């Protein structure tokens, strides 16, 4: 389903592209949509709402125990403290990884994802491969992402079947004492906040997604 | 409905295609597809539940082979025709040939930031108390509605434990079909992997769903 090469699949891609263009023209002519609003929507998700938002939340939680406590009891309001709120994050829940437990988020029924803190979901998150297997074989899925957890570590899968949206708080890597929130945020990957990755350990930067 | 969207536990889709440094969009049209879908939805002519039902109503062979934004666009075409916002001739021609309907809202560029930051809350007040409390044993119902539901097949007829009471929310099963919001209590219900998947399941993993109260019976 991932296909960068428009030429290879030219007829299909141009068929969809022309349908999208037809809809945009039609809805604009009808007066239902403001084309400039489409540009503003795209710009928002390209430049303002993405996984760096979630990373700041996690870094704050690692640094500030009072914030962490608020995040774990009411993630919607804790995220709003940092200015992150709204669409597909109206009812946010944070779940925390520990030495004993790892959390993994999926939406088996569609592609529910905490947009307000992670932005738009990656293609694999929406794919049948991930959605079909995350609940029945989470340990195998994690291995595909390069995360081999010991059998003694509990895995909790969260299937987002209602309007709650889940944010995983990964474990803080060792040897980060005294790091600033900004430094810590750079260790928090998108995948670690979905639960298919771990936070980057200092020295490994760049080695993990 | 038991459509192709209900993927939990299915097999045969192959490895997860993980893309390093994945771009936010893979084609220019995907950006416009995302934005046109959101802007059209903001007209207020359908609910998010109806739009989910429209997507999952695509024939399985289409649902499983289309890219996600193509699923969105295909469902949008159907919703526009169903609501009378545009007819099929206009949709295929890509131009207006009849006067527009009056819609409850129109999303203007100047309002995008505020609208996204506000979002659309699905939480609703509910005076009757929640029937279940954390720690209660519950069994999910066995049901196969032809209409929209958020109870996945793999979790029907299964024994679980209430982990949290999340509040009362719009009930998608009714709201997707114009039946009104009928708010219901929502619970996070946790199941052992063995309960869901039987012999051979991971001994040390659990799966939770967020279940609307009508999906649950006391066990």
Q: What is the 3-state secondary structure (H, E, C) of A30-71?
A: CCCCCHHHHHHHHHHHHHHCCHHHHHHHHHHHHHCHHHHHHH
**Are A61 and B92 spatial neighbours (Cβ–Cβ below 8 Å)?**
no
A141's CB contacts (< 8 A; 6+ apart) are A104, A130, A133, A134, A196, B16
Tokens of A2: 């991932």
The answer to whether A14 is a known catalytic residue is no
Above pLDDT 90, what percent of chain B?
A: 100
Interchain contact, B16 vs A120, CB within 8 Å: no
Please, what is the angle between helix B48-56 and helix B68-83, to 10°?
A: 110
Considering chain A, what percentage of its residues have pLDDT values greater than 90?
A: 89
List CB contacts (< 8 A) between A156 and chain B: 190, 205-208
CB count, 10 Å around CB of B74? 18
The minimum CA-CA distance between B182 and chain A, rounded to whole Å, is 14
With an 8 Å Cβ cutoff, is B58 touching chain A?
no
Known catalytic residue at A11: no
Measure in Å the smallest separation between the Cα of B190 and chain A Cα atoms. Answer: 9
pLDDT band at A203 (very low <50, low <70, confident <90, very high): confident
Tell me, yes or no, if A110 is annotated catalytic: yes
The answer to whether B169 contacts chain A (CB < 8 Å) is yes
Per-residue pLDDT at A205: 53
* Whole-angstrom distance, CA of residue B31 vs CA of residue A39: 9
CB contact under 8 A, B204 and A153: yes
Contacts of B91 in chain A (CB under 8 A): 22-23, 26
Q: What is the Cα–Cα distance from A84 to A165, expressed in whole angstroms?
A: 13
Confidence of residue B47 (pLDDT cuts 50, 70, 90): very high
Q: Which of A95, A17, A5 is nearest to A58 (CA)?
A: A95
Question: pLDDT value at position A2?
Answer: 45
Question: Is A126 within 8 Å of B68 when comparing Cβ atoms?
Answer: yes
User: Which of A89, A132, A152 is closest, CB to CB, to B8?
Assistant: A132
Could B152 and A2 be called an inter-chain contact, meaning their C-beta atoms sit closer than 8 Å?
no
Q: What would the pLDDT profile of A48-89 be if each residue is shown by its tens digit? A: 999 999 999 999 999 999 999 999 999 999 999 999 999 999
Give the contacts of B38 (CB within 8 A, at least 6 positions apart).
Answer: A41, B107
The nearest CA of chain B is from the CA of A68 a distance in Å of 19
* Catalytic residue status for A127: no
Q: Who's near A204: CB < 8 A, 6+ residues apart?
A: none
pLDDT for residue B129: 98
Q: When comparing pLDDT for A208 and B163, which is higher?
A: B163
- Return d(Cα A144, Cα A147) in angstroms, integer: 7
Name the residue among B5, B31, B186 with its Cβ closest to that of A109. Answer: B5
- On the 0-12 / 13-18 / 19+ scale of CB atoms within 10 A, A114 is buried
pLDDT band at A119 (very low <50, low <70, confident <90, very high): very high
ipTM: 0.97
Helix (H) or strand (E) holding A77: helix A75-81
- Write down the mean pLDDT value for chain A: 93
8 Å CB contact of A4 and B26: yes
Neighbours of B120 (CB within 10 A): 15
User: Which chain A residues touch B56 with a CB distance below 8 Å?
Assistant: 109-110
Asked if B18 lies within 8 A of A109 by C-beta distance, the reply is: no
Which member of B40, B77, B123 has the closest CB to residue A91?
A: B123
State mean pLDDT over A188-193. Answer: 98
Looking at residue A14, its pLDDT comes to: 85
Closest-CA distance, A72 to chain B, in angstroms, reads 13
Q: Residues B73-111: pLDDT tens digits?
A: 999 999 999 999 999 999 999 999 999 999 999 999 999
């Amino acid at each position: 389903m991932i296909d960068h090469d428009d030429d290879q699949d030219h007829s299909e891609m141009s068929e969809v592209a022309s349908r999208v263009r037809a809809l945009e023209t039609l809805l604009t002519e009808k007066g239902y949509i403001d084309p400039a609003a489409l540009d503003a929507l795209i710009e928002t998700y390209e430049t303002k709402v993405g996984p760096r938002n979630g990373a700041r939340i996690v870094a704050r939680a690692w640094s500030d125990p009072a914030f962490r406590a608020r995040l774990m009891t009411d993630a919607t309001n804790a995220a709003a403290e940092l200015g992150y709120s709204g669409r597909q994050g109206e009812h946010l829940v944070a779940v925390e990884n520990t030495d004993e437990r790892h959390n993994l988020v999926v939406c088996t029924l569609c592609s529910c994802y905490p947009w307000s803190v992670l932005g738009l979901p990656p293609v694999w998150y929406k794919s049948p491969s991930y959605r079909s297997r995350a609940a029945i074989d989470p340990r195998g899925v994690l291995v595909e992402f390069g995360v081999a957890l010991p059998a003694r570590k509990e895995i909790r899968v969260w299937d987002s079947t209602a309007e709650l949206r889940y944010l995983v708080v990964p474990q803080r890597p060792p040897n980060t004492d005294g790091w600033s929130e900004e430094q810590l945020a750079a260790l928090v990957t998108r995948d670690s906040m979905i639960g298919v990755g771990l936070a980057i350990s200092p020295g490994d930067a760049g080695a993990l997604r | 409905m038991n459509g192709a969207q209900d993927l939990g536990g299915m097999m045969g889709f192959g490895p997860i295609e993980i893309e390093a440094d994945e771009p936010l969009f893979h084609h220019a049209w995907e950006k416009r597809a995302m934005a046109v879908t959101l802007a059209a939805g903001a007209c207020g002519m359908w609910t998010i539940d109806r739009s989910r039902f429209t997507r999952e109503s695509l024939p399985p062979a289409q649902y499983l082979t289309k890219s996600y934004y193509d699923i969105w666009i295909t469902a949008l075409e159907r919703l526009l025709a169903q609501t009378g916002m545009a007819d099929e001739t206009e949709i295929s021609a890509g131009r207006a040939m009849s006067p527009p309907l009056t819609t409850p809202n129109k999303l203007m560029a100047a309002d995008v930031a505020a609208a996204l930051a506000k979002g659309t809350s699905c939480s609703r007040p509910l005076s009757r108390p929640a029937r279940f409390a954390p720690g209660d044993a519950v069994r999910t119902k066995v049901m196969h509605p032809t209409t929209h539901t958020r109870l996945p097949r793999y979790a029907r007829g299964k024994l679980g434990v209430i982990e949290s009471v999340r509040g009362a929310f719009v009930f998608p099963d009714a709201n997707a079909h114009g039946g009104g919001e009928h708010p219901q209590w929502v619970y996070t219900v946790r199941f052992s992997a063995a309960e869901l998947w039987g012999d051979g399941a991971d001994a040390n993993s659990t799966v939770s769903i967020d279940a609307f109260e009508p999906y649950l019976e006391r066990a």
